[in-house]
A and B are shown apart, each in its own frame.
Chain A
């Protein structure tokens, strides 16, 4: 098939879908970012709650070991910066924070369970359940962040009906 043959008859429905999709790319993202910037309280409150959760997790993991606690805090701050990437939106920042917290929560639950020597049936069940929930939450957080990043990309898909009844899908 030549390039010429691929040039295109788009039906009105497809044209409308493409236009809306393009319109929803950068412009709408900017709108959402502006709305989030205008409502900093929600972001701030959630961020504070996240910081409190992270500190509790670190304390629970490191106990009275000050060196471990400080090292953990620095490592997690660095990890969050890496996950956020350059120019994160407030939502991305919150989701990156959630990923870090859930990761620490999972690590802490696993370490605590591994360190147990003597435990009752009820205690073993409690730790097992805690690990399962932490795993679920961690995976959900990673998935949501990935989904948000994917949706925010200005992805435009054009479906074109080419000559001869074949369909060409172009994503850019």
Chain B
């Protein structure tokens, strides 16, 4: 979103948007109407930015929690495996645990 000056003839408020995969610049105009449009756009932009930041923060929190859960689960898995192997069990085709009979 920007104010543009062409040939020294005042300031035009323009906004860019994507139409059918291409960026298109829309000329909104000049004067108080354009000022109002510009401030409404700025409000929406800052709202979107706030939502995006909030989502990024929340996602980082959820991912951190997930990571701790996964670390714990991996530790328990390794511990279970070593306990079973120490007890003479072997995993059959990555599934059932069976006791080795020599």
- Interface residues, chain A, with chain B CB atoms under 8 Å away: 16-17, 20-21, 24, 28-29, 31-32, 35-36, 42-43, 45-46, 49-50, 52-53, 56-57, 60, 91, 94-95, 97-98, 101-102, 105, 112, 123, 126, 130, 133, 137, 141, 144, 147-148, 151
Contacts and interface: CB of A to CB of B under 8 A. Distances in A.
Interface of B, secondary structure class, is helix
A102 B83 contact: no
Given A91-B80, A126-B59, A53 B69 contact: yes
Given A28-B88, A126-B59, A91 B68 contact: no
B40 interface: no
A101 B89 contact: no
Contact of B72 (A24, A43, A46, A91): A46
B79 A24 contact: no
Contacts, number: 89
Contacts of A20: 99, 101-102
Interface of B: 55, 59, 61-62, 64-66, 68-73, 75-77, 79-80, 83-84, 86-89, 96-97, 99, 101-102
Contact of A32 (B61, B83, B99): B83
